[in-house]
Structure 1
Amino acid sequence: MFFKIIYKLFKPLLVLTFFGYIFYPLKNLDIQFLSEENIALTVWDVFMYIVLFSMLSIYLTKMMFFIKNFFKSIGKSREKKYQIKEHNKLANHVVLKILGNKPAPLLQMKDPDQAYLISRFLLSDCKDLDIASKIDKTLKTKALRTFVKANETYEDKNYEESLKHFEYLVMNFKVGKYIYDYFINCLIINKNFDKAIEILKEMLRDNLIVKNAYLQKKSLVLLEHYKTTKDVQKIEHAFEINPNNEDIVNELILTKRNKNQKLEIIEAFWRKNHSIKLGIYYLKLIDKIDSKQFSMVENLVSKFENELSSLVILTKASIDFGIFNSAKNYASEIFKKDPILGHIFEMLICIKKEKNIDITLLESLEREILHKLENIKHIKQN
């Protein structure tokens, strides 16, 4: 290449030197324009000067064009490099976002347009088929192709195949949280729970997940492990590291046969969280509440907007503890929802407090019962 450039530059000069040396011996030149004896030589001189200057002008013109094109090509080269740099910045940003901190083979390309297309393709979560059709197949590296296949198979719920692709990315690249999350989901679905916990540990070690998030995710893996194997140790371990997850608490309660143990688990959960489902289950478990459980049941009433079952338990407890003013208030709330039941509790309060039966209460109860029977009779007739 170097010698070609040298030859191209000096070719006209070599031609000039050759012709000048043969046809125009400058050493013996005796220019006498007006001499009759040398008139032929003078004509020859003029002819040779014309030829020489013509060739020299052609050579200089070529040199000027060559120099101009040379600097122009340098400018284009710089512009192209700048374009590649700018496009690769975008590609790099996308790849870092999706594949992690280690630059993928995707960036090993010289075509800025292709780099830009692949970047946009990744930004579309590999769903933009119009862009995909424009990408040169030779530039679709193993990483990108695998990433696309992993996403497609995951969306098609072909989790076994998806697992293989995500595993390749995790094992061969320093991937980011996006791929790790999908990989763990595939492991859980494919019931590879131990491997999922190992990957979570890797994420924690590489600072891709904070400790609290790691524990929560690990507890969910253990929960799925328990659902599959019914290994009680798994659900107990899950509860130890994440006692605030309602699904874990529900499953743990079902493993306990002792009613008091069930109540304790729900009470521990209720100190930080309020679940209507667990609260109702708690009320069903209670036969006769003690003073420690009284405040929790009160809390249940406030959370469930005076649900009838909790009001009944509170009224009974208030009567047993001799808190008759509270019992009357709860009984009046019960009366709004169920008049017969409300009257019964009012009578119970009267018997417990006054040690006698209020006749007016009995009459009211009788009217409510008769009214209820009339309604039942009317419904049957219709």
Structure 2
Amino acid sequence: MKIDPKHIDEVFIKRFETFEVTPPEGIWERILSSLPSNSSGTLFSNPVSLATIAAMALIALILGINIINQPNGSPTSKKQPIITDKAPGTPENIVKTITQASQTPITTPPEQSGTFGKQYEDITISQPAKKSIPYKATKIRFTEDLTQKQNEKQGIDQGEKRDVATPVYFDRDKCRNRIPSQWIFGFYFTPEIIFYPEDNIQNQSGYHFDLSAALQYTDFFIESGVGLNFSKDKGAYNLDYEKYLGTYNDVYEVTFDSTENGIVPIYHTHPVDIYDSIKEIYEPTNNRYTYLEIPLFLGIRKQINRFSYFFKAGPTFSVLIHKNIPDVNLDEKDKIIKFDKDQPTRVNTNWQFQLCAGISYRLNKNINLSFEPV
């Protein structure tokens, strides 16, 4: 048997078999010279090996991505129609198997004629093909091979006719690019405070009731509606008057009439009103106004879980539909000497621009609670 000097065990046996316990000098150098050198290096120190490993990893990554992106299910193959002499419409007439074609050479029949329907095909065979069993002219029908599980999944009854020749495609691009929209209806109650620059006039309060409808596209929306604004302010009357005290008969002429008894005087009089001295009064009033408001807003809304915040701005048209200004409470017989009205001026129509910001909290699927400073 030939000894392989590359094996370390055999190298030691060969070198030490003729020596005693203490080996001579230089034996270790001769042993090391007989061992193979490790000049080739490791696998990863070779650039060619590294490039090969990197290329294989890249190819595996590309194949994995293609497998993940491939749609589920294997591509459907065209199935041969099933021939039956029975009329479809009942579950027992639906054939569950597919008959495989024979291995005989395909021959073209010299002549065939028939009619084709939308859901079924009626073919009348006038002459059979070669190497086939002759049959009498018979009408045959094609039915679809659908299992009960497929029918239940697609919501199709077994007796239902279905045109399988025309596939239905789902256009994902159109659905992906379609802009989702929704209607949002709201009822708002808004209190307000009216500030006056004059120190002698007290600030007043008012309130709004609004119904709104907003059409939202993604994060943007357009909103309009109708509302009633009930507001009030204070006025005053400053007047001088004389209070009515009563009347007396004033004699403006005296005549005399001769009678059998002598001369009788006749007094001609007329009533004269009596008034007190001039009085000055200052009477405050509470004025009330009702406006009809129609807003039009454009805004943006951002949803964060149950919370959302929004900004909107737009014009609002207001028209005065009712006002109530009390009159001075005086007797109709009192004489007014001087009358001054100290009433705020109100316009009948008004345009204003509003900028609003607010937050909403979704209580459930259909109800939101909003806080909206105006």
What's the TM-score bracket when you normalise by the shorter of the two chains? under 0.3
TM-score, length-scaled by structure 1:
0.18
TM-score, length-scaled by structure 2:
0.19
Structure number, greater radius of gyration: 2
Greater relative contact order: 1 or 2 (C-alpha under 8 angstroms, separation 6 or more)?
2
- Please identify which structure carries the higher strand content: 2
- Please identify which structure carries the higher helix content: 1
